[in-house]
């Protein structure tokens, strides 16, 4: 059951406050935060949960390194330029 750990809480080093597992499990448009394995391994068998819950392609996306912030900023600037031209 995907919701079995949803009420568990930990302190999020990324955001600086306590969060439930449900937030971490759905943080990226319904997919887990890229740090989920690092943060939750002491609370319950998170690796098993991920393997049982997600496909191999989804796991690859979950464990992939996040995109650099500079690249994201450049994309946002380009989108803003295109909107301004229209």
Q: Which residues of the chain have pLDDT under 50?
A: none
pLDDT attached to residue 53: 94
Domain contains 35: yes
Q: Which domain holds residue 74?
A: 9-85
Is 43 a domain residue?
A: yes
How far apart, in whole angstroms, are the C-alpha atoms of residue 11 and residue 25? 14
The total of structural domains in the chain comes to 1
C-alpha 52/C-alpha 11 separation (Å) is: 25
63 within some domain: yes
Instruction: Specify the pLDDT at position 1.
Output: 82
Tell me if 1 is assigned to some domain. Answer: no
pLDDT of residue 79: 94
pLDDT of residue 65: 78
Q: Is residue 2 part of a domain?
A: no
């Amino acid at each position: 059951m995907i919701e079995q750990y949803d009420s568990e809480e930990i302190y999020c080093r990324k955001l600086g406050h306590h969060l439930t597992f449900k937030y971490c499990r759905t943080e990226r448009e319904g997919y887990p935060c890229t740090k989920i394995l690092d943060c939750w391994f002491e609370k319950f068998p998170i690796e098993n949960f991920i393997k049982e819950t997600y496909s191999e392609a989804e796991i690859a996306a979950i464990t992939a390194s996040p995109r650099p912030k500079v690249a994201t900023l450049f994309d946002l600037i380009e989108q803003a330029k295109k909107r301004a031209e229209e």
